[in-house]
Amino acid sequence: MNIAILFNKNHKLHSTNWSLAWIQYCEDNNISYKIVNPYENRVIHKLMDFDIILWHFSNYSFKDMLMAKNILFTLQERGKSVFPSYKDAWHFDDKLAETYLLESIDAPIPKSFYYYDIQSLEYDIKNNKLDFPIIAKLRNGSGSHNVKMLNTKEKLLIYAKKMFNSGISSAPSILYKASSNIKSSKSIKTFINRAKRIPEFLNSLSNARKFNIERGYVYLQEFIPNEGYDLKIVVVGDKLSFIGRNIRDDEFRASGGGDLFYNRSRVTNDIIHSAFTVSDILGFQCMGYDYVVNSNTGKGLIVEISYGFSHRALLDAGGYFDRGGRWHDEPLNVPHEIIKTMTL
């Protein structure tokens, strides 16, 4: 069995990249692997010699988003075992695609609205078809960078006119990220650890600035009243774990802030059931779901999905739920779980 782990050895990997965990697993279990640079010419010919291809590509890398899916899906079409697979990743970093997919199976999601001309939006505003506040999102981006709360019709129209004219950059804001990390740092140790990762963020920011301006659409989600947190729910195979994320001070967004908690009583049977059900119906090998719990109904709603997330933060949950909702005190290492399943 030949395994290829894809990244450029001449570039330093981000500390959260799963390639490091895959390499560790292979070395700990005496599994042969090879690191392959996915950006070189004739890479498809080289990868055809492998049985399993693993690539934790990033939505902050312009060149990854330009060609990673093309390479992985080509190899899958040729009979190779790849991660992420087509089902896991065709919709990656495209919130509109995620919404269409989740709507197709009646998954528990907030009401969504998408407009491709301003006249349709103006009609709905005029006829009071939208409730405020409402959440506006760009198609791409993570960590809440491209998410806004609009409190009035006037603010929505200003936002829409910009989206249908000059557009909005999807690159993350360094000021927003810095302020989020400062606000959510509860100790000097946490602050210092985050400061050490500033070079990683600056590199990610440099890559993300290459993306095109987003324009020509408006994507909205209803605002879900909540108790000041959201949940990253991760399903891989028959295991489910979570990361709790508190909303930052003077904010409505939790993702990307870094103020984490691991109170598993927040993960209800309803959430466990719906996350496993969505993964089963859509054939996901591994998926991270962002859930917001409606404080009026207690129901968990999926606001976004992504095959990739911080596997290190997930380890701190200390265990996982099985399909019956039983907790197991064994940290869930998702990259290890993926490669273990693929090499059985």
Q: What is the per-residue pLDDT across 301-326, written as a single tens digit (0 to 9) for each? A: 999 999 999 999 999 999 999 999 99
What average pLDDT score do residues 30-58 get? 98
What average pLDDT score do residues 40-44 get? 97
Task: Show the tokens assigned to 240.
Answer: 């489910």
Contact 197, 109 (CB under 8 A): no
What domains are defined for the chain?
3-83 (3.40.50), 107-222 (no CATH), 229-339 (3.30.470.20)
pLDDT value at position 242? 99
More confident residue, 59 or 193: 59
Number of other residues whose CB lies within 10 A of the CB of residue 90: 14
Confidence category of residue 339, pLDDT binned at 50, 70, 90? very high
Of 8-17, 214-223, 310-319, 327-336, give the lowest mean pLDDT range: 8-17
Q: b/e per residue, 106-143, with b = 16+ CB within 10 A?
A: ebbbbebbbbeeeeebeeebeeeebeeebbbbbbbbbb
Task: Show the tokens assigned to 287.
Answer: 């998926």
Condensed to tens digits (0 to 9), the pLDDT of residues 185-244 reads: 555 655 555 555 556 555 656 666 678 899 999 999 999 999 999 999 999 999 999 999
What average pLDDT score do residues 287-296 get? 98
Provide the whole-model pTM.
Answer: 0.91
- What is the 3-class SS of 281-308, one letter each residue? HHCCCEEEEEEEECCCCCCEEEEEEECC
Q: Residue 254 pLDDT > 90, yes or no?
A: no
- What is the 3-class SS of 44-62, one letter each residue? HHHHCCCCEEECCCCCCCH
Q: Are strands 52-54 and 112-115 parallel, antiparallel or unpaired?
A: unpaired
pLDDT value at position 172? 67
Q: Residue 31 pLDDT > 60, yes or no?
A: yes
Q: Are strands 286-293 and 229-236 parallel, antiparallel or unpaired?
A: antiparallel
Sheet holding 134-137, edge to edge: 112-115, 218-222, 134-137, 147-150
What average pLDDT score do residues 90-100 get? 98
Element (H, E) at 134: strand 134-137
What average pLDDT score do residues 285-310 get? 98
Q: Average pLDDT of the chain? A: 91
Question: Coil, strand, or helix at residue 106?
Answer: coil
Q: Residue 180 pLDDT > 60, yes or no?
A: no
Confidence category of residue 71, pLDDT binned at 50, 70, 90? very high
Number of other residues whose CB lies within 10 A of the CB of residue 30: 6
Amino acid identity at 261: F
Q: Are strands 239-246 and 300-306 parallel, antiparallel or unpaired?
A: unpaired
